[in-house]
Structure 1
């Protein structure tokens, strides 16, 4: 986004379209749905005072509506006192809506956490790919007694930057049992894998550093690296994961500071890095001076039984990120970093600037849950492929021209549209009651907008209803293009 007059931010049309996912009303005149959605973003501060909105024609194209609809929506917002039009500088959020407490640059709501800000969407939620909790989480958590809590609270003041010793020991033993010798000093507990990524980005990168990422890749990683001012360069990934040959070619043209990969199970494609590529990638770490960050958040969700630990190795420049969220439950908010002790110490210091440690109660539950990791993986293997079959059967019947890369794990399907782009389709899908993420958000250069990610860890009835609505939206998209479509949703 470009700064204007030192205060206003220019919001491109496609970004505004993505920010609108899950906001506003879902019935009534289309211009009113649009104005309500923008009003919600303005009132929440995600379109802050002095923000410059896209021209009517550009926003109409991004939303797949007529320019008349956008003109009417902007007029309604001007009448309500939210927008103002300045000659020669376009349409802006009114500058006198109160002084900003937080920097404008931090309030642009097109980010990976947007879908979690306001609880469940009123629509069918295909925008997130979170997995449901396993029953054993409740079983294990409820097994803690008062004596367990007394022991925990009486033995420690509650602040521990590195994490509960027992949990670090348990994770270290898990890696060691899997063939990667690890000590507790090589483990840093974090409040989820996203915090782990943020710590690695802040601890390892400076503005202008080169970062190589897969294409596509996890949206949260792109945001974490971008916030450091790093230069992102994509490298192709396919059904076998990161294309290591392409990476080798890229390494000859420059020396990146960091390479980010998802070797265990990839988000959003569900690919698993082949054994040959794993070995070649490990050799590249020896041959070049870059930090290899291996995000294994989806480890344990593979459809085939794999090795005990997914770590690529224990090289001094390999940093492994792990998580409890996908295998067990996202509500635990626990992840970890595995690295050499010097790196762990440095990242613990970085963490201490904003956070004094993760919940010790959740960590105590995690210690016990890890004793059930094999059972948890087996349960994911028994349930996730069934959801995938349901989704692909529905797509084959209702959207037969859509194609996909067959995943080998995870909870999402990476789908290619036969024509058009997912940013525009996502806006039409909202009018049919389905929240959808365009593939461009999973790309360093936005070039994957002919794809979308569809979750399949949902009840069959929800998948059936969602794909039926999505097929209706797709048909409208093909037939009407950028012409107004009036749809009254019946969302249940």
Structure 2
């Protein structure tokens, strides 16, 4: 059926405390969760069978026991939560009642239902709410896990790791105490040479090794931002970035993306009227849309560094997954206010937990000091494996370049067959398809999908303001049989969802 459109029109070392929580608001009596907020948090919790009210009560119990619903937190009214979860109000009433009988919830006059202060665990308010790591905490969320888009490991990771000998370990352990805050010198040198060979002169002093790209983001947020600083992000954007900037209490502004990537002209207009501290972009391969920034926009974005006092963070974690074989070291330039984030985990295997920051030496030194507050360095064994894997990047990219487009074709053919009204733009890289629902919203639909054994992430979690909830992200790096079964179940769930929506409209019309 062809391609279908889906898009709608530096650093301070002072430590910071988070004073703003994503998706949660603070009122005079404590935290207050909306129905949609709570619906997103409930994905992947509680029982998978039994009466719906019991599944809901066990899910809420789990969130309370984990401290994600803290003491005094206000829960949404029964009717609103029932609508968000696409269940009857009776189901929510029964679940709330069961938890009140257990002493976990209490009803306060004038303030609704709240988590009991007597039984709930104490928690730091900054930890309350939905998190990017939630789907990794308790194992698979459902029979078919479409909530994660992690790439499977390449066989060469095991081959390279198995090649380490006892002499290699003795050399690694016998010459140093084992703490390399900036990273294993040989790995920093190898990554610097990789950038230099691609035409971007880089020295080892420009590289800081991190425990994955997410830690790199956290370091940049803590080291370069203060509470209240303005941050510009793409719309939509990587979920982990929203959380990193949320934890430092920043004011988020958005700039849309289209099939050429970030709308740089819109960014220029925003920078001309406001003075954000930092701009976060993904030029190499965008998560969740798979868009690659065009060459023209890349040049315009680079020029903005000379025109505005802003820190530009270019997250290239998915570099090496583009379908057209473009160079995988796509740093924009070298500039005192440019920070580039890279990763081994996306291309090779998430279990490596190896990433890096490329910046001028002064910034690297400061971020290393920030890192030293909580972490004295990444595993040297993992870094030794990563060092050897750097010699296999071309082979790894070639393998991804074959497998990812094949998986994409499989997924889109399944969607054409079973969900022909769903729309998307063809990605150019990455491992996920950003799909637009023809009606309704993904937060509510995800609850129905979970009952059919498929876990989905609502598009709202990829947005600073929740406005992309008419989208969801579907991975295409899964086995064909898994994708086929998952899309078939999604089609059944979608029919159920539409039927429920029709009933709701009919009932509303009858009442009015």
Normalised by the length of structure 2, the TM-score is 0.92
Which residue is 2:98 aligned to?
Answer: 76
Aligned with 2:163 (options 121, 143, 146): 143
Write the distance in 2 (CA, Å) between the matches of 1:215 and 1:130.
21
CA contact (8 A) 2:317 2:341 kept: yes
Q: Answer yes or no: is 1:363 the counterpart of 2:383.
A: yes
Which residue is 2:507 aligned to?
Answer: none
Write the distance in 2 (CA, Å) between the matches of 1:98 and 1:34.
17
Question: Which stretches in structure 1 are left out of the alignment for 5+ residues?
Answer: 485-492
- 1:77-476 aligned at under 5 Å gives the runs 77-97=99-119, 100=122, 102-106=123-127, 108-476=128-496
Displacement of 1:40 in angstroms is 1.7
Write the distance in 1 (CA, Å) between the matches of 2:27 and 2:257.
37
Question: Which stretches in structure 2 are left out of the alignment for 5+ residues?
Answer: 1-23, 505-512
Write the distance in 1 (CA, Å) between the matches of 2:502 and 2:367.
49
Write the distance in 2 (CA, Å) between the matches of 1:445 and 1:5.
23
Q: Secondary structure at the match of 2:420?
A: coil
Q: Answer yes or no: is 1:16 the counterpart of 2:16.
A: no
Q: Secondary structure at the match of 1:319?
A: strand
CA contact (8 A) 1:297 1:323 kept: yes
CA contact (8 A) 2:228 2:249 kept: yes
Write the distance in 2 (CA, Å) between the matches of 1:252 and 1:45.
42
Write the distance in 2 (CA, Å) between the matches of 1:286 and 1:148.
46
Displacement of 1:90 in angstroms is 1.3
- RMSD of the alignment, in Å? 1.4
Matched length = 481
CA contact (8 A) 1:65 1:482 kept: no
Residue by residue over 1:296-340, the C-alpha shift from the partner in whole angstroms, topping out at 9 and shown as x without a partner, is 000001111112411111111110000011100010111000000
- 1:44-63 aligned at under 5 Å gives the runs 44-63=66-85
Residue by residue over 1:190-241, the C-alpha shift from the partner in whole angstroms, topping out at 9 and shown as x without a partner, is 0100000000011111112111111100010011112111111000101111
Structure 1 residues 201 and 344: alpha-carbon distance in aligned structure 2, compared to 1, 3 A threshold? same
Displacement of 1:26 in angstroms is 2.3
Structure 1 residues 299 and 99: alpha-carbon distance in aligned structure 2, compared to 1, 3 A threshold? closer
Displacement of 1:50 in angstroms is 2.2
Displacement of 1:5 in angstroms is 5.3
Write the distance in 2 (CA, Å) between the matches of 1:299 and 1:173.
16
CA contact (8 A) 2:320 2:327 kept: no
Displacement of 1:44 in angstroms is 2.1
Normalised by the length of structure 1, the TM-score is 0.95
Write the distance in 2 (CA, Å) between the matches of 1:154 and 1:275.
47
Q: Secondary structure at the match of 1:481?
A: helix
Q: Answer yes or no: is 1:3 the counterpart of 2:26.
A: yes
CA contact (8 A) 1:84 1:92 kept: yes
Write the distance in 2 (CA, Å) between the matches of 1:60 and 1:370.
51
Following superposition, which runs of at least 4 residues in structure 1 exceed 3 angstroms of deviation? 2-6
Displacement of 1:424 in angstroms is 0.5
Write the distance in 1 (CA, Å) between the matches of 2:130 and 2:265.
33
Which residue is 2:20 aligned to?
Answer: none
